[in-house]
Structures are given as structure tokens and as C-alpha cells.
Structure 1
Amino acid sequence: MGNISEALSVVGEISISFLGFDEHEQAAAFRLLVLVLVMLTLRAGIQAVVAVLGAGSATRAVAPDEAAMMRALCSQAVPAPGEVLRLEGAGFVPDVDLRGVYIRECYKGLADVMLTSPLKKFILTGTPGVGKSTIFYYFVGRLLQQRSTPPPFIIWQHAFYSGGRAFCYNTKTGDTLCGEVSSFMAALMNPDTWYIADAMPPELKTKAHLLLITSPKRDTYKVLEKRGARMLHMPPWSLEELQACRSKLDLSVSEAFVKKCFEYGGGVARYSLLQLEASNNDVEELLREGLLQQLRGAIDTSSVSQVRAALADVATQDMGLDTSHRVIHIKTDSSYSKRLLEFASRWVAERFMNKAAAEDEYGLVSLVNGSQDTFRGLMHEVWMHRTLPKGGEFTIAPVKLTGGTPKLVREAEYTLKLPPCKEEVFEEVVDLARKGCEEGVYYKPVSARLPLVDSLLRVGGVMNLFQMTVSPDKPVDFAKLEGLLGDLGITPQQEARLIFVVPEDIYPNFKINVKTGECGQKKASPTAPALATRPKLCIMRVPRAQVGVRALSA
């Protein structure tokens, strides 16, 4: 202590003398200096004590809102797909504005995969805006309602919360605590625990089952992926799912608004279901001010080279701008493991291809001819909508349905001549039937969802119904086909052709099949006299895409 005093005296005298203070001023200044040093020393000591205490026992507290949510999830059965999960006396935290959660079919499928897989680490991603975060409530419900013993702990984190804040539910005591994720390390090291991180990199020092829910951002999931986590994909919504959710949750958006959002932007719930209550009923005006502006901006910043790079490498798309996901959506198969890319909608594909045709037509042709899987299907359809109205000569092969044992047999090819024609779009088949199909007009539905056909063209009194496909085979549902002809006002006496338009590489082996029933049983075959009233079936061969096809009218 004497050494400290001596040092302070020396420092003080030197400092104060240097400043030119007299003897009394020097004494006052010295006392002030000592006081400041004492206060700084006390502060450092307090911080050290706090640090020691914190290291020994991390602070945790009861989380009342989350606890109420967990009690509500425990007290009810998990809804089936198509139903709504509601929480009595509690809210969905942190999504407090949710009225309920519509249970999609894929929620069940994804949960089944994760709960039955021998793997313990999963990454769930998908197109931004499809509602990946809301599967959390369904999945936790499934964990709590497992027929076998539920996990001892369920821990979750969300990017909505600041720092490393986490929540831990103890299934034995029913307690829900909140604290730093490090404060739940004992539970995280339990191999039966489930740990869920949403929109943020998880704590990797864990033996628990781990689910990371994230938008397709490689920076968030890359480390976990390198550690062998299984990548799963949530598909976009179908229009039927969107409309069912809108109806069952009694949302303020209209059926027409949801339909238009789907036609323009695809199956993204954020576009159509999470809109603020509209101040007017003009659907097109609302879209122009919101969704269409976003989509056009995304298309304007996209190029053929960017799309090709995204198709070639997952990481390229996931490291790119978020706008790229407005143009290209992530789809999947029944395993939810395969990543399939497709344009968000036919509207997006058409506008992208129009832009590409003007800026990089050679690149666009290469993309059309080189695309695969689901991406090829929509590109082929849009390219045919560009090609057929131009007219030309096309090779087609009639397919005859024989009597007795139903069998579709390809007959001799011939050349079908189509004239150049104007284009027209229509909303519903009934509208087209009311107006009537004019000769030489290429009719295309606004939505790519018209059953059986993608476009119609009357030439020489014959109604040609075109269906574009890149599949190796296609079934024909004669009952639905007859229904469509009836809706169009086409009588049995009028000639009609259903033409499957396929690329030249698929054409040689393409097959048309009779539509089968639920148990693989073929539906009742038409009798020979009835065949005369049916449209003729044909397969059209179209050459590879070439430079010089005119653009669609905007």
C-alpha cells in the first residue's frame, strides 16, 4: 500500500507541478486524482465479480408468453393437413399477429421425414415467403404428441430475438425458461433433445436433434451443411391451398386478389395472404402498386447468364440477391430432398424471355434447348406460345384408340399447316364459350392452370387444343376432355384435335395413355361408336429453339 501511495505522490507532484498549480491547488488536485483512481478500481472489481458470478450460473427466467403457447400446444391434438391450428388462451410467439396456422400437406410430409430419419441434423429451406417459419408450431406440436416418449427438452431460437436469446421447454416439469443459449448447454448435450433455430446460425456445440429453418442464404446454413445435415425443401403453395387458407382463417384479402397474385407471382403466401387490408377493391391497381412492381424490378435485374448459373449450382442462387428468388422458385419431389427450380409463374417466364430475346437471344435459345426437369417444362410452354402464333408447318402423328382392349396406336405422320394469327388471352372457359372462338385466333388462358389444354386455335373449321409437355408420356382423361369440349360449346359434329406438343428429342418415344383410376385400374373404355364423337389425338414434333422467333406482345 505504501508503494502505491508513494507512486501516486510522485505522479501527482510531477503532473501538478507541470500544470503550474500553487501548493493549495496541488493538494486539492491530488485528492481529486486519488478519488478518481479509487472509483475506477472499484468499478473494475465489481465487473470482475459480476463476470465470475455470471460464469458460474447463467441467468435464466420464466418466459410467460412462450409458456402459455407450449401449454396450449400440449393440450390439443395436432390438426391434420387442410385444417387450422389455433391456440386457446395463448398466442403464436413470436408471430403474435397470426390468427391460426393453416396446416399444409407438406408440413406433415416434412415432419414425417425428420421424425423417422436416422439422421439428426436438418436444414429446411425454400423460396422466401412460402411460410417456412410457421411449420415450427406444427412441428413442436408433433414432438409433444409423439406416441413414444416426447423429447426431454425442446429448445428454440429465432432471429427475431436479440443476441443469443433462446427458450427451453422441459417436457417433464412443463416449465419454459428464457436465457442465453449457453445457459441450456446441459440440455443441448442431451442426445434426445430437439433444438430448432429459425433464420439464424445455430449453436453447433450440441448432441441434440437439430433443425435449422432458413431462407436460401448460404451464409446461414453452409457450416451446418458441411457437417452432414440433410437439406429439405418446402415447396410453394398451390392455388387451392392459398384459397383454403384465406377462407378458413377469414383473411381480409379477396379470392380474386389471391388468384391474381398466384398468376403473377406463383405460390408465395407472403404476396397474397399477408397483405394489409386493402383500402379499395381494384385488384389490378393493388397489384401494380405492390407485387407487379417488385416482380418487374426482379426481372429487370436478372439475366440469362444468372439463370443458367443458378440452374448449374445451388450455391450460386443462394449467394445471389433475394430478387432472384422472385424470378425462380424452389420446388421439390415427394422426398423433399431434391431441389427443382422453376420460373415463379408463366407470367414471369414470359416477361423474362421477352427481355432475354431483346438482350441475349442466342443465350436464351441455348437456355431453352439446354434446360432440364421442371424448369424445362415451363420454358417449353412459353417458347411454344411464342412459336405457334407465328405459323408454319409441323409434323404430327395421329394416335388412334382401338376398340376391344383399349390401346392407343400411333399412325402415319402428316404435315399440319398453321397460319400466322393474332393472339388473345381469356380468363375462364365459360367466357371464351360465350364469345366464341374465332377462326385464326390463338387463344391462351391468363393462368397456366386450365385443365387439359394450354392454348386453342381454330383453323379450317377444326378446333385444335394444344397441350405443351416435356414428359415422356401423358394420360388422357376422356371424361374431362368431353366436359371441356362441352364447356367450349363444341358439338359432336364439329371436328376437334387434342395435340400434344413435344420437343423433337422426346417425340420419337412419346406415348399417350388412357387415364387410370385410383387403384391403377383403367377407366371404362369408350365403345367404338362413341369414338367418333371424341376429338382426334395427335402428337406434334417441334424443332429445337432457334434464333429469330418473334417476341410475345406485352
Structure 2
Amino acid sequence: MALSDLGTACTRLAELFKDDAGDLIATLMANLTSLGGAEFSMVCEGWTAFFGSRWEKAYLERRLSAGVVAASPWLQGRLSSRMQAPQEMKSFWRALLGLDIIVDSLLSLPSNVYLLGKKWCGSSLLVRSCYRGIFDLMMNLHSSNTNTRFLVTGTPGIGKSFFAVVLMSWLVKEQGVTTIVYESQDKRYLFMSEGTDLNVEQGDKTDFGYEIELPTTWWIVDMATATERAANTVLLASPDRTRYKGFLKLQAATTLSMPVWTDNEIEKCRLWQHPNLSASTVQTLVSKWGNIPRYVLEKASDPTAQSSLEDTLSTCRWDDILWCIGEPDTAPYSSHKLVHLELVGNSYTKKIMKLASPYVAREIEAKAGMHHTRLLQNLVQLSIGKPAYAAAAGLFFEMYAHRRLQAGGSFHVRKLNSFNTTQPKGSKPLALQRCDIHEFHKVEEVAQQVNHVYCVPQAHNFLAVDALMQPNILFQMTIAQKSSINLKGLHAAARQLSKKPPRIYFVVPDHLYGAFHFVAGIPQEIEQWVLKVSWM
């Protein structure tokens, strides 16, 4: 029986081959035997044309190599889930590679084109500076043959999944990568690019095994687990040791940490992507949640999401906080709403765990009740030998010191001189009266306050000082010797005081008072003092 449409026959034969439809292939092949030589040559040409593309050719070679299919009864009976990806995903891929990605700007796809082909992801994202920093470090480690496997972790809700988008673009456009497998939950997508030849396929989590065994492939795994494969691997994950414990044991694996957002990033994203949210609304949410865009921007108006912070606080104990600080990879997921991962320096390899906000610290203090001072004292002592606890201990001590100073009383103080000047023999105690409190948004507001009003910033990451008081007092709380201070912030604060010279008091717990010494770099016109807050 002759075949009337050779083009259709070739396509059908190829599709049946890809689907392992053995019986149907046999029938079709039998029909081909009635063709003459010229007609059969046309079939062969059609077959070649179908598999002639780079992608189909690679697929055919994999299926035929080493007789794997013929040798495996399981494979012979298995229907492949591999197929062309939906048009939404292909449109995303083509649009992404057509854009120039600029750090600290908004990456915007065309109308009706969505990030990763998913409408709920939206069409734009803020290209954070840390995305560039992590990518550059990753490429440096990769080019030096130090690492080929990277865990990128960070506090839930900061946009680790969106990093995959810019990572894919930079890999193709800057590193010449042609094959990327992106895996999320139970699906995999094969993104391919060679010049203007672009394609995207999709499959389940067992597909594209050939590609991820190639050392030239990059395998990006989000919300899933990654195993040992030859591909360069990037695993995106919130702190959860069960997900990546095995991965980090693999050769050439390392961890890179992504920080929480900066104030500037939150404000840019509010203006560009959430203009319906007022600055005051977002600032109020930041004062509770910290700089987590999921909760202060994306879900700012979601009652269920917003109530989850109070739900977590209601069930959290002091020991839970210490657990999350000391072993964040094993702590309950919800604990990371209260304790955030932050970077030490700009290396993306060193991190500390910090309380999300002063609000969270106050709520945890309140739960501890009459035992709080003893627990805090123990935490400060613990931080001396275990620096991982220092950030949390510092914030809890700051809250404690604020309350003591605001309540007034007599405090031991000592003037600090540089090492090449005569040290003072002693000083009179500093007497403070009970203070009214003014929370300021801008430091310039302090200049309008009368004497003895205790001025504290609304933002918990205000630079240089923790409180100010007219006519000439600056307070900086610390549980460790200072080696430097933010001079720009210090000058801005000192300019608001009405009396000269300004004094900065380093407020410390009693064990540090005697040993605390002069901090280099502070201008001579600002007097340095140390003030002891004893435990009560």
C-alpha cells in the first residue's frame, strides 16, 4: 500500500519513534516496503529533515546510543513525557534573551509574557545588586575549577526563585551556555539556545537525564532536591538541611548566601511594582517583618499572610529563637519569619542570623516575662564564646538598654581618651530623668525636640547611633568592643544637637564596662564615653 503523503508519513514515523509506539512503527514500516526507490529516498530525506535540527538530532542519538532502548524492557514499555513546552514558556525564553539586564533596575517583559511562563510570577522583577554579586562569585569559582555545584540559600520570601531568571540570561549571554535544565517541584524544562535558534521542552522530573549528565549543561533546581550529576548545578533553597544535606557532601559543592532586601530595594519595588501601597504602610510592615518583600509588598494586603507573624510569635519560645540562630538549617520553617539570614561583609559566603525586627524582639521579651533579664544575661555571655549569637544578643540588649535609659536613673560613665593621652581617673555618674519618647522617621526631626526627650529612629537599621537626646547626647548600644563606627551617620546625628561638644555614649553591659576603650576614627570634636547598664 503506497503512502500518498510522504511528509506526513515521515512526521508520523518520527513521532511514533519518540513515543516508543513499537507496534505502530512496525505497521508503518511494513507499509514502506511497497515504496519504490525514489519514493523511499524521499521518506529518508523527510526523516532526516525532521531530525535534522540540533535538538531532535541530539534526542535521536540518545535514544539509539549503546542499544539502551533495545536492551531495557522497562524503557521499551515507557511512554516519554518529554514534549514541546507551552507557548507561554517559549515566549518568556525568547523575550528574556532579547533584553539587556541592568542591575538595580526593573527587568520588564512584553505585555502578556510572564516570568518562567507563569502568570502568577508577573512580568517584571527588580534586578538586585546581590544577584550580580552572587553570579560573579559563582563564575569565578567555576572558572578556577574550584566549584561546579552551588547552593544559594537565604531567608524565605526574598526572591531566590527570581534569581533563576537573571541567572539563565547571564549564563547564555555572558558565558555562552547553550543548554539549561530548570527544575521546579515535579517538572523540568529544557531551555536551549544556539545563536538565534531557541527552543524549550518540558518533561517530568525523570526527563532530560542525558542533558544533566553533560558537563556543559547548567541545571537549576528550585523547590526540589538535587543529586549528583555531571551538569553544573545551582540549588535554590530556604534553610532546610533535609533538602540539601546530601548535595553539600558532593565534591565541588559550596554554599552562597543571599541577603534580605535593603531599604532602597524595598522602596524601588514599591514605586515600580506596587504603587498602590503607600510608603507609610510599607514602613509599618517593615517595622514588624523586616525587609522581606513577600510580606511587606506582595502580600501586604493579605490578612492571612499578615496574621501568620502573630501566629508564629504566639507559639515561639525563647529556646526556639536560640535554635534558629544556632542551627538555622534545622529550625522549623516558620522560625525564619522571626530570625533572618544576613551577610557578613560582601562575600556571600559568611552569614549571621538576626532577629527580624525590634518588634519581634519586644514580643519575645514580653513572652519571657520576669525571666527575660536572666535569659538575656545568659545570651550575652553565650555570645562571647559563640559569635553566631552576637547579633540577636545585641538587639535584645539594645531593647533592654533603651528601657533602662528611658526610665531614668543614675548610670556609671567613664570618658574615653586615645591611647596617647592621659586617661581620666573617674567621672561623676550620669543622672537621667524619666524621658518622653519621640520616634523619628528623619533624623532632622531631632533638631526640633526639647531637652531630655529620648529620640529613637523608626527604622531599626538606622546608621551609627541608636538614640539621641538634646542638648548633646548620642547613645550607641553594644555588647562588644567597637573598632569603628559609621562616620556619615554619626555626623548627620551630631548636627541635630543644640549644644557642643556632642557626646557619644557607648552603652554596654557591666562585664564590658571596665575594658571598653577609645574607638579610633571618631572626630576629636565628638567626645567618647562609655556607660554601664547593670542587670536588674
Bin of the TM-score, shorter chain as denominator length = 0.7 to 0.9
- Matched residue, 2:457: 445
- Matched residue, 2:518: 511
Q: Would you say 1:464 and 2:473 are equivalent positions?
A: yes
Q: Pick from 282, 286, 300: which aligns with 1:258?
A: 282
1:348-370 Cα deviation digits (max 9, x unpaired): 11221222134665334312332
1:221-270 Cα deviation digits (max 9, x unpaired): 23223335322221111111100222233532121122221111101001
In 2, Cα distance between the equivalents of 1:387 and 1:122? Answer: 46
State the Cα distance separating 1:207 from its structure 2 match. Answer: 0.8
Q: Pick from 303, 306, 325: which aligns with 2:336?
A: 325
Structure with bigger RCO (C-alpha 8 Å, 6+ apart): 1
State the Cα distance separating 1:194 from its structure 2 match. Answer: 0.4
Which secondary structure does the structure 2 equivalent of 1:220 belong to?
A: helix
Which secondary structure does the structure 2 equivalent of 1:424 belong to?
A: strand
Q: 1:327, 1:343 within 8 Å by CA — same for their partners in 2?
A: yes
In 1, Cα distance between the equivalents of 2:349 and 2:335? Answer: 21
CA 1:350 to 1:57, structure 2 compared with 1: closer, same or farther past 3 Å? closer
Q: Would you say 1:307 and 2:321 are equivalent positions?
A: yes
| Aligned-pair identity (%) | 23
Q: Pick from 497, 503, 506: which aligns with 1:497?
A: 503
- Matched residue, 1:21: none
- Matched residue, 1:380: 397
Q: Pick from 287, 291, 294: which aligns with 1:270?
A: 294
Which secondary structure does the structure 2 equivalent of 1:538 belong to?
A: strand
CA 1:52 to 1:467, structure 2 compared with 1: closer, same or farther past 3 Å? closer
CA 1:52 to 1:397, structure 2 compared with 1: closer, same or farther past 3 Å? closer
Q: 1:123, 1:212 within 8 Å by CA — same for their partners in 2?
A: yes
- Matched residue, 1:123: 151
Q: Pick from 411, 418, 423: which aligns with 1:394?
A: 411
Q: 1:340, 1:375 within 8 Å by CA — same for their partners in 2?
A: no
Structure 1 letter corresponding to 2:330: T
Q: 1:121, 1:209 within 8 Å by CA — same for their partners in 2?
A: yes
- Matched residue, 2:63: none
Q: Would you say 1:344 and 2:363 are equivalent positions?
A: no
Q: 1:469, 1:500 within 8 Å by CA — same for their partners in 2?
A: yes
- Matched residue, 1:232: 256
Q: 2:190, 2:200 within 8 Å by CA — same for their partners in 1?
A: yes
Q: Which has more radius of gyration? A: 1
Which secondary structure does the structure 2 equivalent of 1:511 belong to?
A: coil
- Range that drifts further, 190-199 or 114-123: 114-123
- Matched residue, 1:155: 181
State the Cα distance separating 1:486 from its structure 2 match. Answer: 4.2
State the Cα distance separating 1:457 from its structure 2 match. Answer: 4.1
Structure 2 letter corresponding to 1:151: V
Q: 2:282, 2:296 within 8 Å by CA — same for their partners in 1?
A: yes
In 1, Cα distance between the equivalents of 2:468 and 2:483? Answer: 19
Q: Pick from 136, 146, 149: which aligns with 2:164?
A: 136
CA 1:253 to 1:207, structure 2 compared with 1: closer, same or farther past 3 Å? same
Structure 1 letter corresponding to 2:317: S
Which secondary structure does the structure 2 equivalent of 1:114 belong to?
A: helix
Q: With structure 2 as the length reference, what TM-score do the two structures score? A: 0.75
In 2, Cα distance between the equivalents of 1:445 and 1:328? Answer: 21
State the Cα distance separating 1:306 from its structure 2 match. Answer: 1.7
Q: With structure 1 as the length reference, what TM-score do the two structures score? A: 0.73
CA 1:272 to 1:95, structure 2 compared with 1: closer, same or farther past 3 Å? farther
Structure 1 letter corresponding to 2:411: F
Q: How many residues are paired up? A: 448
Residue pairs, 1:276-295, within 5 angstroms:
293-295=307-309
Q: 2:416, 2:517 within 8 Å by CA — same for their partners in 1?
A: no
In 1, Cα distance between the equivalents of 2:492 and 2:286? Answer: 25
| Structure 2 unmatched runs, 5+ | 1-71
Q: 1:78, 1:138 within 8 Å by CA — same for their partners in 2?
A: yes
Q: 2:152, 2:234 within 8 Å by CA — same for their partners in 1?
A: yes
Residue pairs, 1:197-208, within 5 angstroms:
197-202=221-226, 204-208=227-231
Q: 2:219, 2:232 within 8 Å by CA — same for their partners in 1?
A: yes
CA 1:479 to 1:323, structure 2 compared with 1: closer, same or farther past 3 Å? closer
CA 1:78 to 1:409, structure 2 compared with 1: closer, same or farther past 3 Å? farther
Which secondary structure does the structure 1 equivalent of 2:312 belong to?
A: helix
In 1, Cα distance between the equivalents of 2:516 and 2:78? Answer: 70
Residue pairs, 1:3-152, within 5 angstroms:
53=76, 55=78, 59-80=82-103, 82-88=104-110, 90-97=113-120, 98-117=122-141, 118-146=146-174, 148=175, 150-152=176-178
- Matched residue, 1:41: none
Q: Pick from 196, 206, 210: which aligns with 2:220?
A: 196
- Range that drifts further, 370-379 or 504-513: 504-513
CA 1:419 to 1:134, structure 2 compared with 1: closer, same or farther past 3 Å? same
1:155-188 Cα deviation digits (max 9, x unpaired): 01112xxxx3211012234211111243311111
State the Cα distance separating 1:330 from its structure 2 match. Answer: 1.2
Q: 2:324, 2:335 within 8 Å by CA — same for their partners in 1?
A: no
- Matched residue, 2:310: 296
- Matched residue, 1:179: 203
In 1, Cα distance between the equivalents of 2:208 and 2:283? Answer: 46
Q: 1:397, 1:410 within 8 Å by CA — same for their partners in 2?
A: no
| Structure 1 unmatched runs, 5+ | 1-48, 279-285, 516-524, 526-530, 549-554
In 2, Cα distance between the equivalents of 1:175 and 1:349? Answer: 50
In 1, Cα distance between the equivalents of 2:257 and 2:216? Answer: 24
Q: 1:169, 1:177 within 8 Å by CA — same for their partners in 2?
A: yes
Q: 2:417, 2:528 within 8 Å by CA — same for their partners in 1?
A: yes
Give the RMSD, CA atoms, in angstroms. 3.1
Q: 1:485, 1:491 within 8 Å by CA — same for their partners in 2?
A: no
State the Cα distance separating 1:477 from its structure 2 match. Answer: 6.6
Q: Pick from 427, 441, 444: which aligns with 1:414?
A: 427
State the Cα distance separating 1:341 from its structure 2 match. Answer: 0.6
Which secondary structure does the structure 2 equivalent of 1:182 belong to?
A: coil
Which secondary structure does the structure 2 equivalent of 1:368 belong to?
A: helix
Q: Pick from 523, 534, 537: which aligns with 2:528?
A: 537
Q: 1:239, 1:259 within 8 Å by CA — same for their partners in 2?
A: no
Structure 1 letter corresponding to 2:439: F
Q: 2:82, 2:201 within 8 Å by CA — same for their partners in 1?
A: no
CA 1:315 to 1:420, structure 2 compared with 1: closer, same or farther past 3 Å? same
In 2, Cα distance between the equivalents of 1:476 and 1:502? Answer: 15
